[in-house]
């Protein structure tokens, strides 16, 4: 993972992927959003090898995406919880979910949807919008330098 190539470091996409672009990190974050906090919970939920999980959790903590706190149930174990910084990642996860549901649907899988907790109604699909609210496609935007 020699991702520190010259042309990459300056792109925020690449920098994000540096933190969460590996095989397991985003799935750990996803489970954390689902309320999982303990080593064993991630372990059984993901089916990842223990040493890999250890490595990933450390990396996520090092990147400030997770932090360890004393266990909430009073036991001596620690728990991994999402930091404020990690909250922004839920948009990435939702975008992935949305894309996966639209384009990678499997046959016999239970359909799940995200609902607003207050109204119990499905959320709006994620969309890119101009300042005046028009929905934009990939070809409608351009990347420019801001001085």
State which of positions 56-85 bind a copy of itself (CB under 8 A).
Answer: 64, 85
**In which element (H, E) is residue 16 found?**
helix 12-20
Long-range contacts of 114-123, Cβ-Cβ distance < 8 Å, separation of 24 or more: none
Q: Which of 8, 17, 21, 22 binds DNA (CB under 7 A)?
A: 22
- Give the nearer residue to DNA in terms of CB position, either 39 or 90: 39
- Give the nearer residue to DNA in terms of CB position, either 40 or 125: 40
Residue 51 contact partner, candidates a copy of itself, DNA, none, CB within 5 to 8 A by sort of partner: DNA
Please, which of residues 9-48 interact with a copy of itself by CB under 8 A? 9-19, 21-23, 26-27, 30, 33-34, 45-48
**How many Cα atoms occupy the beta-carbon half-sphere of 84 within 13 Å?**
0
Q: Which of 8, 21, 38, 63 binds DNA (CB under 7 A)?
A: 38
CA-nearest of 60, 1, 51 to 28 is: 60
- Give the nearer residue to a copy of itself in terms of CB position, either 44 or 75: 44
Query: Rule CB under 7 A: is residue 33 a binding residue for DNA?
Result: no
Query: Rule CB under 7 A: is residue 34 a binding residue for DNA?
Result: no
Rounding to the nearest 10 degrees, give the CA dihedral for residues 104, 110, 113, 119. Answer: 170
SS3 of residue 79 by DSSP: strand
Other CB atoms closer than 10 Å to residue 48's CB: what's the count? 18
User: Could you tell me the smallest distance in angstroms from the CB atom of residue 76 to a copy of itself?
Assistant: 28
């Amino acid at each position: 993972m020699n991702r520190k190539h010259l042309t990459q470091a300056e792109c925020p996409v690449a920098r994000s992927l540096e933190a969460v672009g590996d095989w397991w990190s985003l799935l750990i974050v996803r489970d954390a959003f689902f309320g999982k906090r303990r080593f064993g919970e991630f372990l059984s939920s993901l089916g990842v090898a223990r040493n890999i999980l250890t490595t990933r959790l450390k990396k996520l903590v090092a990147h400030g995406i997770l932090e360890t706190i004393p266990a909430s149930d009073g036991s001596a174990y620690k728990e991994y919880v999402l930091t404020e910084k990690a909250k922004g990642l839920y948009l990435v996860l939702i975008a992935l979910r949305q894309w996966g549901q639209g384009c990678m649907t499997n046959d016999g899988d239970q359909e799940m949807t995200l609902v607003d907790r207050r109204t119990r109604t499905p959320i709006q699909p994620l969309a890119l919008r101009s300042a005046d609210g028009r929905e934009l496609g990939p070809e409608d935007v351009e990347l420019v330098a801001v001085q």
